[in-house]
Structures are given as C-alpha cells and as structure tokens.
Amino acid sequence: MKTNDVILQTATKVVSLVIVLFSIRLFFSGHYYAGGGFVGGLMTSAAIVLIMVAYDMKTVRAMLPINYRILIGVGLLTAVSTGLIAVFQGDPFLTHYYGYFDLPILGKTSLHTAALFDLGVYLVVVGVTMTIIQSIGESE
C-alpha cells in the first residue's frame, strides 16, 4: 500500500526552511548569544534529515548533491587555515583578528576571524552528522 505523505511533505517545505534559517541564526549569533558552529551545524543537519524523512534519500541527494565526507575535509581545512593566517602574520597559531570595517553595501560591520573558524566547525558537524545518518540509512 502506498502511503500518501502529502501533509508531511508540504509541512516539510515550510518547516525545513525555517529550521535552516534558525540554524544560520544560531551560527552567526554565536559570538554574542547562545549558539555557534556546533549547534548551528546540528540544526542544519536536522533540516536535511527532516527532508529525508518526508521524501527519501534519492530526492535529497538530487536536491543537495553534496559528498558529506568531502565536507568534513573542507571544514577541517577551513579551521586549520584560519589558524595558519596568524602564523603568516607572525603570531602564534590560532590567533584571531577582529575589528570594524566599512563594507560597500553593509556599511560599518564587525568582522572576526573566529567566525571563519566556527564555519569550519559548522561544516565538519554537518558533514559528520550527514555521513553517519546516510551510511546507516543506506546500509542493509
């Protein structure tokens, strides 16, 4: 019997967007409020998992053609290279820099290399969670 998941699937379309937005919000607010790369990454994965539950793995793979194992590597690389910036500046590894900048459209904005590091954490967490869930889900 083929089940009809129309309510779930429709709801997913709306809810997953909200979750993604929430996860991005958690990620960016990390330095000032509760949140950060770790929870942000987990939330993003939660959104993807919700899509998986509502549709199936194939759809998700077509929608997001990402190899999550490579994502882990990219994340680690981001984190390490953030640390290496400081080395090239002549400071100890993982020294962070921050300050206010005048950007063309955004105007006066505070930028912080720690956010890049957090991005690495975020990518690794998404990659890790999705790798685990995908491999378990596809195994017999």
Partner 1 sequence: MSLLHWAILSPFLLAIIIPLMYKYAKRVHTGWFVLWLPLVLFIYFISKVTKISNGTTIRETVQWIPSLNINFDVVIDGLSLLFALLITGIGSLVVLYSIFYLSKKKEKLHNFYVYLLLFMGAMLGVVLSDNLIVLYTFWEFTSLSSFLLIGYWYHRERSRYGAQKSMLITVFGGLSMLGGIVLLYVMGGTFSIRELIAQAGTLINHDLFIAAAILILLGAFTKSAQFPFHIWLPDAMEAPTPVSAYLHSATMVKAGLYLVARLSPLFAAEGIWLWLVAGIGLLTLVWGSFSAIRQTDLKGILAFSTVSQLGLIMSLLGLGAAALHYPIDDNIYIATTVAAVFHLINHATFKGSLFMVVGIVDHETGTRDIRKLGGLMSLMPITFTIAVIGAFSMAGLPPFNGFLSKEMFFTGMLSVLTLDIFNFETWGVLFPVFAWIASVFTFTYSMIIVFKTFTGKLQPEKLEKKPHEAPVGMLISPIILAVLVVVFGLFPNLLTDSIILPAASAILGDAMPADYHIHISMWHGFQPELFMTIGVVLLGIILYKTWPKWKVVYKPFTEKWSFNSLYNNGLKYMEYGSNKLAVNTMTGSIRNYLLYIFFFLIVSLGFTLFWKDAFSISLDNTAPIGFYELVLAVIISIGAISILFVKSRLTSIIVLGSVGYTVSLFFVLFRAPDLALTQLVIETVSTALFLLCFYHLPENFRKEERIRFKLTNFMISLGVGVVVTLIALSASSTKLFDSISQYYVDTTYTEAGGQNMVNVILVDYRGLDTMFEITVLGLAALGIYGMIKLRLTKQGGKKANENK
Q: Which of residues 57-86 bind partner 1 (CB under 8 A)?
A: 68-69, 72-73, 75-76, 79-80, 83
In the bound state with partner 1, the residue whose beta carbon lies nearer, of 8 and 86, is 86
DSSP string, 69-137: HHHHHHHHHHHHHHHHHHHHHTS-TT---EEEEEETTTEEEEEEHHHHHHHHHHHHHHHHHHHHHHHHH
In the bound state with partner 1, the residue whose beta carbon lies nearer, of 20 and 69, is 69
Interface with partner 1 (CB under 8 A), residue from 63, 81, 93, 103: 93
- Name the one range near partner 1 by CB under 8 A: 2-10, 13-21, 35-43, 57-65: 35-43
Report helix angle 113-138 to 6-28, nearest 10: 150
Q: Output Rg (C-alpha) for the chain, integer angstroms.
A: 18
126 near partner 1, rule: CB under 8 A: no
Of the chain, the end-to-end C-alpha distance in Å amounts to: 22
In the bound state with partner 1, the residue whose beta carbon lies nearer, of 24 and 46, is 46
86, 96 contact by CB (below 8 A): yes
Number of residues that bind partner 1 (CB under 8 A): 47
Interface with partner 1 (CB under 8 A), residue from 20, 24, 42, 85: 42
> Alpha-carbon distance 11 to 140, whole Å?
29
Binding residues for partner 1 (CB under 8 A): 26, 29-39, 42-43, 46, 68-69, 72-73, 75-76, 79-80, 83, 93-94, 96, 98-99, 110, 112, 114, 117-118, 120-121, 124-125, 127-129, 131-132, 135-136, 139-140
